[in-house]
Amino acid sequence: MRAKRPAFDFDRVLALRYNKTINQKIARIARGESFFDRFSIKKRKIVPFLLSQTDADKCRPSIIGRPKIKECTMPEEKKTFYMTTPIYYPSGDLHIGHTYTTVAADTLTRFKRQQGYDAYMLTGSDEHGQKIQKIAEEKGVTPKAYVDGTVAKIKELWKLMNIDYSQFIRTTDADHVKSVQKIFKRLYDQGDIYKGRYEGWYCTPDEAFWTDTQVVDGKCPDCGRPVERASEEAYFFRMSKYADRLLDYIESHPGFIQPEARQKEMINNFIKPGLQDLCVSRTSFDWGIPVEFDPGHVVYVWIDALSNYITALGYLNDKPQLMDRYWPADLHLVGKDIIRFHTIYWPIMLMALDLPLPKTIYGHGWILLKGGKMSKSIGNVVDPVELVKKYGVDPLRYHVLKEMKYGADGNYSEDLLVGNINADLANDLGNLLSRTVAMTVKYFDGTIPEERQSGDHDDALARVAEAVVQNYAKWMDKLDFSRALESIWELIGRANKYIDETEPWVLGKDDSQKSRLAAVLYNLSEALRIVGVLIAAPMPETSDKILEQMRIPEDLATWDSIQHFGSYPSGVQVERCEPLYPRIDVKALAKEKEKADQAAAKQAKKAKKQSKKATAPGVITIDDFGKVQMKVADVLSCEKHPDADKLLVFQLDFGDEKRQIISGIAKWYAPEDLVGKKVIACTNLKPVKLRGMDSNGMILSAEKDGELRVLTVDGDMPAGSIVG
């Protein structure tokens, strides 16, 4: 006779250890023994969960004398995916370039979550350094007060852009500070850090040291801005000790540095010529993490900034311990200008700490304007907040992802953004949705009948849809977000073509073709369902609108549900909808720009008259005149303002710095007329924003009877010479 089975508490909280002993653990619970015996977990993750009644039934023991446990199907632990953005330097407002990096990271994170991964995204702010200290002093506030305000604006921007990060780390966080101090001490104790003296060149904007051989004509080889001579006591990291090991690792791990061109650059330009030991502390300023064992020294940028990727996971601090779960990182996503620090300095630091290296470091290109690379220091930046106010969040997300091709630089202009909205979002996607819904409402009162007759072109649409899902996933995994979007639009284009092929407006006139018409509208609705799911990562708001409009339930808005064509739900009723993306009237937009230009010119003229009226009767003293700072500048480049016909955008070299100045002289000069000339500019005017672009000064000119001439300097007078 079979023994009576002992009582089993199916609501008991269990913990699943992923190893061969799991069935033994379940058997112990079945026998009434305590499971919580503090077994060694070493580096494995224990995940608490409630055992469902169904799963418990699968684990019920069959007892004949000694209990025997059936193999049970337990919930599998999710695969993890850990990705990071750079932590941004809060020396000013972030621009569209920073937005691209973070939108790309958010898109990939959302995609991995769609696929069922436990995806963790880290972003944050790098808040220490000499530049921050100088800016704070100029503003009359403490460095901490300054970065608090800037970081708050960064978080507001990411909220506006629908960035669903898992954690925002600040290098001023107490836990991060504690970890950095421990890392610095450990590296010092094991002989990887030593004390010396730095003699060389320093670039404040880039927070980078350079040797005599690396400096190019007195300028930073990375950013092209002037460097200054520095000499101070400092600690150094023995980079050279790990150079051979790093080279072996890179060459034996294809894909570690992406794209491949960046890998070749790092090897040939930096590693093989010989790595210089890295300065890792400073004594000439104090806004940084103090070196505990040597007062007067603060930890210099790279040990502080780069270690955020592990301190955020609880490394050597009291935060939740996530290192075992998420490290090594699956992807560090960075701009190409900082890839050297991430592919040389950071891996060597990890080697010294005996930690695994990240799986992939991807250095994407820059977003370029007509005048070149955007830079907060130069001031030629595009404000994403203004673009969102004007065009919306998802159009901007779509634009930056589409225009940044894999590994290459991308271009930005407002005309290109408007073109993408009109062609791709309004015409292609918006029309597909509105036409499909409108015909469903017109011919079937919003509900597609169950009786459907297949016909020509149905299979072709289905094949494209299923292929697009696979291609989209392939390009996302390859970090080619532009091609991933192209895949989605391939399905959108095929669905629009399907409408032209099947001519549902013709079918609707023939009652005998109602079942065929139902099949056509069903297939279009299914294509839109798949598009709605695919587009959820890059354009989450648009995805929600499509899926809501098509009345798609949650279980049919998943990644698994779109692996095969034909799951659009039966019986749902759709209603007519507002256009997903109305077309932007380009002519009206141009007129608005023209009116804004005229208003700005009128305001400037009025201000000029008021200034003349206010100052004409007066006589200034030599002290008054001395307040005006004027310098000679070389004109490096000159371009038309993208949003104002009367303005020219100048990039000027003043010898010790570069500046962007905008001048309303387009009526009298073509952009190329002044390139290479030496002009005189006032350099201590308060910066202003003209049609969305910063202007830091004023180029001097003379005007009479409606004619204007810019004041230039003859001879060999060097840039930066004082005019007075």
* One domain for residues 422 and 560: yes
* One domain for residues 643 and 559: no
Q: Does the pLDDT value for residue 58 go beyond 80?
A: no
How far apart (Å, rounded) are the C-alpha atoms in residues 581 and 579?
5
- Residue 440 to residues 54, 218, 294, 498, 547, Cα–Cα distance (Å): 41, 69, 75, 15, 16
Instruction: Output the pLDDT for position 513.
Output: 96
Instruction: Output the pLDDT for position 620.
Output: 65
* One domain for residues 545 and 645: no
In a domain, 474, yes or no: yes
Contact 328, 313 (CB under 8 A): no
In a domain, 196, yes or no: no
Instruction: Output the pLDDT for position 656.
Output: 75
How far apart (Å, rounded) are the C-alpha atoms in residues 262 and 486?
25
In a domain, 204, yes or no: no
682 marked as binding residue: no
Question: Which amino acid would we find at residue 271?
Answer: I
The whole-angstrom distance between residue 90's C-alpha and the CA centroid of its chain comes to 15
Of 381, 415, 411, 397, the closest CA to residue 537 belongs to 397
In a domain, 14, yes or no: no
Tens digits of residue pLDDT in 486-543: 999 999 999 999 999 999 999 999 999 999 999 999 999 999 999 999 999 999 999 9
Stretch among 46-60, 219-233, 378-392 having the lowest mean pLDDT = 46-60
How far apart (Å, rounded) are the C-alpha atoms in residues 30 and 8?
6
Contact 120, 82 (CB under 8 A): yes
In a domain, 445, yes or no: yes
CB atoms within 10 A of CB 617: 6
* One domain for residues 636 and 715: yes
Tens digits of residue pLDDT in 656-697: 788 889 988 888 888 888 887 889 999 888 888 777 778 888
Contact 404, 100 (CB under 8 A): yes
How far apart (Å, rounded) are the C-alpha atoms in residues 226 and 401?
33
* One domain for residues 658 and 509: no
| SS3 assignment, position 331 | strand
Mean pLDDT of the chain: 85
More confident residue, 252 or 587: 252
Of the three residues 556, 573, 590, the one that is the final residue of a domain is 573
Segment 698-718 mean pLDDT:
83
How far apart (Å, rounded) are the C-alpha atoms in residues 285 and 571?
69
Instruction: Output the pLDDT for position 664.
Output: 87
* One domain for residues 473 and 568: yes
More confident residue, 248 or 1: 248
Of the three residues 509, 544, 573, the one that is the final residue of a domain is 573
* One domain for residues 673 and 532: no
Q: Does the pLDDT value for residue 2 go beyond 60?
A: no
More confident residue, 374 or 582: 582
Predicted confidence band of residue 13 (pLDDT cuts 50, 70, 90): very low
Residue 325 parent element (H or E): helix 323-326
* One domain for residues 543 and 681: no
* One domain for residues 638 and 709: yes
Tokens 């008991």, located at residue: 12
Strand partners, 361: 257, 332
| β 289-290/278-279 pair status | unpaired
In a domain, 112, yes or no: no
More confident residue, 260 or 412: 260
Segment 193-219 mean pLDDT:
80
| CATH number, domain containing residue 486 | 1.10.730.10
| SS3 assignment, position 440 | helix
CA angle 673, 678, 681 (to 5 degrees): 105
CB atoms within 10 A of CB 68: 11
Cα end-to-end span (Å), the chain = 112
More confident residue, 381 or 672: 672
Q: Does the pLDDT value for residue 461 go beyond 60?
A: yes
CA angle 562, 564, 567 (to 5 degrees): 70
Q: What percent of the chain is modeled with pLDDT above 90? A: 59
Instruction: Output the pLDDT for position 34.
Output: 36
Segment 366-376 mean pLDDT:
64
Instruction: Kindly provide the b/e burial profile for residues 107-135, where b requires at least 16 CB atoms within 10 angstroms of the residue's own CB.
Output: bbbbbbbbbebbbbbbbbbbbbbbbbbeb
Tokens 């036409």, located at residue: 435
In a domain, 465, yes or no: yes
pTM of the predicted model, to two decimals? 0.73
Q: Does the pLDDT value for residue 65 go beyond 50?
A: no
Tens digits of residue pLDDT in 118-137: 999 999 999 999 899 999 99
* One domain for residues 512 and 450: yes
| CATH number, domain containing residue 629 | 2.40.50.140
Range of the domain at 667: 623-723
Segment 178-197 mean pLDDT:
97
In a domain, 633, yes or no: yes
**Can you say whether residue 108 is alpha, beta or left, with left for phi > 0 and alpha for psi between -120 and 50 degrees?**
alpha
Question: Which amino acid would we find at residue 474?
Answer: K
Instruction: Output the pLDDT for position 646.
Output: 82
Q: Give the number of domains in the chain.
A: 2
Instruction: Output the pLDDT for position 241.
Output: 96
Instruction: Kindly provide the b/e burial profile for residues 448-463, where b requires at least 16 CB atoms within 10 angstroms of the residue's own CB.
Output: bbeebeebebbeebbe
CB atoms within 10 A of CB 289: 22
* One domain for residues 567 and 683: no
* One domain for residues 437 and 553: yes
Of 466, 436, 638, the closest CA to residue 551 belongs to 436
